[in-house]
Amino acid sequence: MKKLTSALSLLLLFSIWCACSEDDGVSKTSLGTYQLTAIYSDPGDGSGDFAPVESNKRITLYQDSTFAANFSLCNGLSIEDTGSTEGTFSSAELSFKADCNNSLPSNELRIDLFESELIIYYSCYEGCSEKYSRINE
């Protein structure tokens, strides 16, 4: 009986250890490449909305919680696709941390990440953000 109790205790501890393994919060369905499709701006009266844009700006999210963009996230809101940016993201904390070489007061941007959409919120006096749609490559 003592061996059975010990075996059950070990099995219980192993089960708890497996259940508590770290999860990076990255959904495999949200990984991939996203292209800018709309920009949100608000004139200050709460009437803002997303307006469609044509742009070549793209962001790719990788399994190891890193991202690469073909534009500079460090320059703020813009439809231009100059420069490039790499960094890390957290779908659990809903944030991008861009490698901006300290060119911004904060290199962390708030995001919303869905299966087919990514929204990046920039630090603006009035609301401003960019909406990206997932593309198939």
* pLDDT score, position 79: 65
Taking the model in full, what pTM does it have? Answer: 0.73
CA atoms within 13 A on the CB side of 49: 3
**Distance between the two ends of the chain, CA-based, in angstroms?**
59
Name the residue ranges covered by the structural domains of the chain.
26-135
Give 116-127 pLDDT, tens digit per residue: 999 999 887 777
Domain spanning 26-135, CATH architecture: Beta Barrel (2.40)
Please give the residue that has the higher pLDDT: either 87 or 19.
87
Residue 50, amino acid: F
Determine the 3-state secondary structure of 88 from DSSP. Answer: strand
Q: Is beta strand 58-61 parallel, antiparallel or unpaired with respect to 49-52? A: unpaired
Determine the 3-state secondary structure of 107 from DSSP. Answer: coil
Stretch 30-42: mean pLDDT: 91
75 CB contacts (<8 Å, ≥6 apart)?
Answer: 82, 83
Give 50-63 pLDDT, tens digit per residue: 999 998 999 999 99
| Contact status, residue 47 vs residue 126, Cβ threshold 8 Å | no
Please give the residue that has the higher pLDDT: either 51 or 43.
51
